[in-house]
Structure formats: C-alpha cells, structure tokens
Structure 1
Amino acid sequence: MWWNKVLKKFFKFSKERLLDKLDNLSVRKKLLLVYILCVLIPTIVSHFIFTIFIVKNLQQQKINQIKSAFNILNTNVKRVIDEAILYSNTLYTDDLLNDMLDIDYHGMDDFYSNYVQYLRNRIYQGRNVYSNIARVTIYTNNSTILNSDGYRKLNIQEVKEWYDKVINNPQGIVVIPTSDSGVNGEEGYVSLLRNLNQYEQRSTSTGNNSKYTKIAKIDIYLSSFFNSINFEVFGGEIYLLDSSNRIIAAHTYNNLIFTKPFVKFETSKFVPKGSYVFVNNLDITLLSGWKLVGVFSRSYMMGEIYRAIEFILLISLLSLIFATFLIRVITTSLSNRLELLERHIRKVKKQRFEILTCREGNDEIGSLIREFNNMTVRLKELIEKEMLSEIQKKTLEVEKKQAEINALQSQINPHFLFNTLDSIRMRSVLKNELETAEIIKYLTRTLRRLIYWGNDITTVQEEINFVEDFLKIQQYRFGEKLTYEIFVEEDAKNCLIPKMTIQPLVENACIHGIEEKEDSGRVTVRVKKEGVKLMIEVSDNGIGMDEKKLEELYANLNNPLYDKSIGLKNVYRRLMLYYNDNAEFYIESSFQKGTKVIIKLPLELPVFVHKI
C-alpha cells in the first residue's frame, strides 16, 4: 500500500534526524540523557502511580472504617429506642390498664385504692425494669383521674408541642426531644409518645372502643444516647442530630452542648476549619430525619496517608540515589577516559606529544588509549628525526638575520646623536649664536633623560628641571607668545614621584592650549604639600574645552582605543597603576578661558616601587 511506504519513509527520515542530533552530543550528555530517560523519569512515574494507588486504598479503607463504626452506632441508638417501644407495647396491649383509665371514679379514695392496687405498679414496672427509661407518664382527659406519680390530666395547652403529632400520626407513635424546667434547670429527654386508644379491641366480650383519650409518654435518658455513641475507636467527634438539626447527644470535647439540651448544630461552632465531615442517616423508622454526623481532623484522616507517602518518597529517594551512584560510577569510567583522550589529541595537534597515563582498562576505550600512546611515540620519533635538520637550518637563518639587524642598529646609536648635537652647539657658540646653542643644550639634556631612563622614580626638583628645559625649548619655538611660571614649595622639592608626571601635562598645555591661541599665552606650574598629599597643578590660559568635550575626555581616560589627549591619558593611567587608585586626578576647563589639571598624590610611595 502507498501509505505503508509513506510511513516507512517518514520513520526512516525521523530516525536519521534523531541519529544526527545524537551524534552531535558529547558522550557525557548522551550518558546523562540515557540516565534521565531510562532511570530517572521511569522511577518517578512508577512511584507516582504507586503513591496514587496507595493513597486511594488508604482513603477508601478509612471511609469503610467510618461506615462500619456508624452502623454500630446506628444499632446502639436503635437498641435504646426499641427498649422504649417494647415497654410502650405492654402499655398499649394492657386491657386492664385501659379499663381502669376509662372508669369514672367517685372521689379521691376510690381512685387512690385503684392507684395503689394496680396503676402505680404498672408505672413503676417500666422505670425499674428498663434502665434507659427515666419516667413514664400517662395523660388522659378522664376528669376523675387525679394528678399523681405517672398519671396526669390531659391539658392540651400544656402538651401542645407533641399532642397534635401523636393524634394525627397514623401509627399513633412518635419520638421527639422534649424538655422540662426543673429545680436544677432545664432537663432534656427523648420522649416516645403513644396513643393507647388505637388498640381498639380491648375486650373480646364487648369490643367497645375506649371511653377517654389516653396517651403514654415514655421519657428516655439523654445519657443513654450519649452512651450509645461513645465509640472510642473514633479519632474524631460524633453528633446525634434530630430532624431539626438539634444535638441530642455527642461524643465530643466541645462544652457548648452541655450548657443546655438540644443546642443547634452550627458548622461554624462545631466543625473546625480543615476538618472532614461524614453524615449517616439513621435507619430507624421512628427517627426519620435523624442522623449521625462525624467530624474528623485532617491528622486523623490523612495521618496514615502522609506516613505512607513519606515512606514511598523515602524508598523512591533511596532507589534513585543507589541507581544514580551506580550509573555515575559506570559513566565516569567511560567519560573520564574519553575526555582525557580528547585532551591529549588536542595537545598532539599543538605538537605536544605526551603519553596518556591513566587506568586504561581492557574494554574498547582501553584499547584505543594504548593505540594512541603507540601512535604518539612513533609520531614524536618521526618528527625528531625527519624535521631536526630543517629546524636547525631555519634557526641559522634567523640568527644570521638578527646579526644583520644588530649591525645596522649599531651604526646609529645615542652616542652618535649626542656627539652630533654637541658639535652643532659648539659651532653655534663659535658663531656667537648663543641662543641656538642654549636651546641645543636643553634639547640634549631632554633627549638624554628620555633615552637613559634609569629608575622610574624621581624627585619633584628633577622633574621640574626637566619641565623647565622643555618650556625653554617651547619658548624658543613660540617666541614672545609663550610665558611660564613655576612655583615649588621648598619642602616639596625632595618628594618622590614617578618620572614624566608633570612634563606631559605641560606639553599638553603648550600644544593644545597655547599653540591654537591667537594672542599670547601663559603656563603655570605649582607644587606644594597638602597634609599627607602632594598637590601638583598645571594650568594655562589657552583655548580650553567646552563641557561636552571635557565629559568625553573624562569618560575615555581608561579607554586604550581613545586616540586623543594621549599624553594626559598616559599620565592618568600610570598614576592609577602606581598608587593603586589612591591618586586624585581633576580637570577643569572652560572654552576660550583655559584648562587646569590638578593631581593629588600620597606622599608615601607604595612598597612595591623602588625609591631613589
């Protein structure tokens, strides 16, 4: 098929491009790439997937534990309710009790005799036999029944919170929270209320219905519900809520629920930030809408998960470290020897024939190193034998050329120049050209000082003498156009400074300041001490510089490519080198008004400078 051929060409082209890119990588980078693709990434991905799997299993395990515990609590609560239902059934099916409550009694004595004989014991039986029942009260609208322990006249206004719910309930039985205001404050119960009239066939002989309304109210201790959800396995808090979201009982350390019964469950008060909340509806018909709410801290829910993650991370880290160490040892054996071989090949290219000394090994790289050493030895011997004569020949030719150059240089030397200048000066004296002779004397002294440099350090006095010779030569050149003044304090004359510190500044003032000036100019040199500094000032009243040119000069004092004001720039750079940037260098200039250069040098020369 044509598309099969296209795919083959595409894969072949991609493979060739990949191989080309790999061939351009160094061996070390290739080994690093193998480590990343074959060890690092697979290890991280596999451990990541394993971590997700473990975390999900632990989360599901924790949820299953909570569900199992909630089922146990559900059963415990149902057991408490069933106990009250069981007792209510005995009252509900008691024909004698029903008949005695339907009797119209004639006075207190008549009722009391029946109360003592049967009614009282019927109530006591429930409270004494069933431990969860706090009290039992039967309400009836029989006006001849007196209010007593366990029996009360039915006043609808007093029992309006539950009366309609019982009467209108098809089964005639409801369970609701109730509370009474007693001596010790408000006391709460969970009350089971049952309409005893719904058991219609009280007597098989008559089949008559009940004469009066009779409702049994069985109050259950709240402590029974507290005990039923007191499950210590939990690492959180448990709340039993009714259909109105009121707290019936709780397993918690929150004191708000103990202030009064049936506190409203509010998330802001009972659920700390970051907690996990689980809700389980009670599987009890009479407690429709009731539920168990579990509030669990993050540490309880995630503690095992965090420990599992830490353990997996530790295993991952140890495995990576171990794998990295092994691969590092193996790759170092390869890359180090290859890099050594590469460096020695470059040395051979520069005609440095050095034997490669390292742990060769018996692999392919070791064989390559041994062959390289053999080649280096043979190549070195070949060059020494075959090219030695050629090198000697070239050396002789170089020495011959150097001798010729030295011979030519010796023909003109400083002595010849000084002798010639001295002859010219003497001839000028004989011709009575004293001014010319004097200038030649200054020029000779200047050239002799430049050629026979000697030490780099000189005194201020010697430097000033040199400057004065130079200024006299410039006066001869410019005539009356140039005047100069030199002021040197006596205690500054013996101070040591680098040679050619002042002269280039004076030369710069003459050439760039006075020469281009139309009328006469003046150069002033001042040297004095200022504390621990030596102050040198060279000023002129020449053409000066504008602000832009002065900024350009300042910016390029350290620029070796700047080809203007070379003398000034050289002085600055030499002083910075001598005094390690402790020298101060200032330039003040105004266009058509002149230029002033101020230098401040430490009186003590650096220790590396040789003193005169």
Structure 2
Amino acid sequence: MIRQYFHNSGFDGKVYLLDPGGHIQFSNDPTAEEAQIGKRYSEIQFPNKMIPFELTYTGINYLEGWSLQGVMDEEIVLKEVRKSRSFVVWLACINFVLPSIIIAAMSRTIHVRLVRILKHMKKVKTQNFQTIPPEDARDEIGQLTMEFNRMTETIHNLIHEVYLADIQKKDLELKQQQAQLHALHSQINPHFLFNTLESVRMRSLIKGERETAKIVHNMAKMFRKSISWNQNDVTVKEELELIESFLQIQKYRFGEKLQYTIEADPAVLMYRIPKMVILPFVENASIHGIESSPGVGIIQLFVSMENDQLHIRLKDNGIGMSHAKLEELLSYLDQNTDMGEHVGMKNAYSRLKLCYKNHFTFDIQTWEGEGTHIQIKLPLDPSAMPGD
C-alpha cells in the first residue's frame, strides 16, 4: 500500500522514505527503485540544481525515527514560476496603471478648478469682479468657489455703494466750489450790475433815499446769498425771498415795463432744496426774455405740491427761442462744460442732477416771439432730499 502511494504520487521530484538508520525503504522513482532500496540516502549523488526537503516523523510510535526525504529539480520550480510571470506582470500593470490613471484624472480636475479660481482672483486685482460659473461639486473646491463668488459680489456692491458714492460726493463738492468761483458771473450778470448801479446813482440824485435804500438792501441781500456757500441747501421760502429781492431790483431797473407775480403753496415753504437753483432761470427770463421784449414783460412763478413732488413753474412773455436755439440750449445743459452764455442755468441744472440724479424732471417749452415756460419737478421724499 505504501509502495502504491509512492508510485501514484504526482510530485514532480523524487521522494524517499528512510528508516531510522537512514536507509531507503520506499521511493517514487520507478527506474531506480530496485537499485536504491536498502541503500543509505546519504550515499546517493544528486545534481547541483536540486532543491532538497526533509520531514521527520515524531509523535507516531510506529514511525518514530523515520523520515521523508526528497529533492526537486530547480528548473521545474522556475518553469512554474515562469508560467505565472505574465499573469504577475499583467496584475502588476493593472494594480499600477489603473490607480495612476485615476489619480492623474483626479489631480487634473483639482488642478483645473484651482487654476480657474486663481485666474478670477487675479482679475479682482484689476477690479474685474467676474464670478466663476457655478458648478454642482460639493467638495472643498466647490465650497471655495461659492465663497469666492459671494466675496466678489460683496466687494463689487461695496465699491458701487461706498466708493462710487464717495466719488459722487467729491464731484458734488467740486461742482459747488466751481459754482462758488463763478457765483458772481453765473447769478448776477455784470452788465445787469453795471446798469443797476448806474440806475441807483442817477435815481439817488433825483429822488429821496428811501427807494434807493430799499434797492441797495436787496442788492446786499443777494450779494450775501450768492457769495455765501456755508450751506448747500435752503428752504423754499428762503429761495423765494432771494428771487423777490432780485425781481425788486429788476423792477427798479425796468420800471413799469416789468410785472411779476410769485405764488407759493404754504405747505411747501419749509421744504429744503439746493441753494440758488430757481434764481438763474428767473434771471434768464428777465435778462434774455423781458429786456429784449418791446412790450410789458410779465414773469410768473408758481410753486406747489402735487403727487409728493415739488412743482416749480416759471412763465414769461418775452421773446422766446426758436426750436434750433432750444435744442442748442438743452444740449449745452447736458454737456460737461462750464463755458457758455447761460452759465448760471448750467450750474443750477448740474447741481440738480448731482443732488437728485434721475429723480427730478426738467422741461422747457418756448415759442419764438411769445415767451418761455420752464417746469421743474423735485421729489419731496425725505430720502431723496439733498443733504440727507
């Protein structure tokens, strides 16, 4: 039975069962079995490239001291290894290449998204507040993108609300300084001042001093108002008082040739408006409209409140303007220039735009040889009031 087991062994090497004396009793080598049985195992010569192994039996009474010796050709072992080499290579390639491709793809995705964020950050330095297109990623880079967009929009809004508002404030202050420098020229025409002073001198020689004192008082009041820019806005009542003084002087100059009326709703008298924004239009109506008119000139000023707006209507029956002249005047008012014949109207219109932006309306209607109507509508909302 033992011999049968050895003969049926599928082991590729040679196996020997040795007795306690080291003699061969059984072997799986059928060609040398008869010659080797009984010989000492140590006397057998094996080739150099043989792999030996040994198993000594212990704990079994009838096999005590017996051992199992064997040798295997090294080439057989290497042949089996070579058979599995291609499998090992393919397995190694799969285990190396596939994870490398996955890692490279993930790294590229992260790199592209980070570079995109970096480009938009560089744009912010040049005040190009362009947001990154939104993405569905919810990882750390996706959250970073969302926070960057939120930060960009916040900075953009702050610049528009704070920085641009500060620029507009500085621009308003600059315009007011320019208006102060041109106050005498824009609000009081030098030709008119010369004529008025000459009239005062001549009338004071002929008449008593009461009327002269009244005119001088009105002129002093106008001078004080025109050269004092400590306050940017005044009440409607104060503006109308200034206009009344101006028209009194004009009536002194023109006599009965000039008639005027000023009507104001008492409810609007205490509302504040930019300083000297009505007077230049009254001056223009007097100097350019009434002075050149052959008949009696009439100037009418109406101030009322309608639909939460301050309505200012100025009418005269002077020489008016042609359509081409009106277009030229409106174009001049919208230009950023300080030169022109109607510099007082230009200053007043510019300050209205600075104070109220697009919340006011300005309209001129004129008929050549018949007169001119000017209508100004200012908001009465406290949030739109100048100085708030």
TM-score interval, smaller chain: 0.3 to 0.5
Between 1 and 2, higher relative CO (CA 8 Å, sep ≥ 6) is seen in 2
TM-score, length-normalised on structure 2? 0.46
TM-score, length-normalised on structure 1? 0.30
